[in-house]
Amino acid sequence: MEPSKLNPLHESMTALCRLVDTLRGENGCPWDKKQTPATVSIYLIEEVFELADAIETGYAGQIREELGDVLFHIVFIARMFQERAEFDLARVAQTITEKMTRRHPHVFGDQKVANSDEVIQNWHKIKLDENKSFPKRSLLDSVPPKLPALMRAYRISDRMAKSGCDWEDMAADLQGADAGLGELKEAVKSQDSHLISEKYGDLLLTLVNVARRAKVHPESALAAAVKKLELQFKMVEARVAESQRDFEEISREEKKEIWQKVQKRVP
């Protein structure tokens, strides 16, 4: 049997790397050849969100395809840095393998942990030790600025809490949410758009803290709520379509009545 047949992963990765080499090569694709890490990173972000959507569906074929799209962009970006003689894909794989080994001493070393909470605590301590080798910087610097605001708020809140800056509790955060809602109502009365935006942001941030304490990710919770809202609206559209009328022809009152019936079916 040929050696390549013994290792399909190696064979497939080699083929993918050669494909990218060709695209970036002298006789490759003009569009691919002019790309930079910065331009490709935008597409990578989009592909990651598409992958997350695919995972929500649970359809293996779609997930496999989206994983491939993400992998392609990672290989593509690594190739561009290889062209600069800075690092290659092999070095990327080596670096992450070393990091994951170092951050799992309970698996690859002799450290003992009682549960997943201890794993997270140790992970944070190891990261702090790793950061000591870098110039002095904030603990929050590793949170990507381009993350969606809700995800970034959660990550920053979590980092602050793990560093000991978490002097409130769930009850205090809920009280803060009530107070924040009151301030938002007053801001709305003022019709000051800047003040409304500020108070709305403050309230969202407080609710992110509530989610963190409840061990709920706000991005996932909001995504689920939006998905339910979308389903309810599509059910309203379907009911209107069954009456063989255009959606625009239906009065607000009738739409509201249909909506209330749909809500009972999709609580």
Q: Which amino acid is at 222?
A: L
Domain boundaries, the chain: 3-102, 110-137, 142-216, 220-265
Would you state the pLDDT for residue 146? 79
Do 3-102 and 142-216 agree at the fold level?
yes
Would you state the pLDDT for residue 161? 87
Would you state the pLDDT for residue 69? 96
Would you state the pLDDT for residue 42? 86
Would you state the pLDDT for residue 72? 97
| DSSP string covering 90-110 | HHHHHHHHHHHHHT-HHHHSS
Would you state the pLDDT for residue 207? 95
Give the mean pLDDT per block of 10 residues along the chain (267 residues).
66 94 95 94 90 90 96 97 96 94 92 87 80 71 84 90 84 94 96 95 95 91 90 90 87 90 82
- The domain defined by 3-102 carries CATH number 3.40.50.1370: no
Would you state the pLDDT for residue 197? 96
Tokens found for residue 73: 């962009």
Q: What is the CATH number of domain 142-216?
A: 1.10.287.1080
Do residues 108 and 101 touch, judged by C-beta distance below 8 A?
yes
Closest Cα partner for 78 from 92, 96, 94?
92
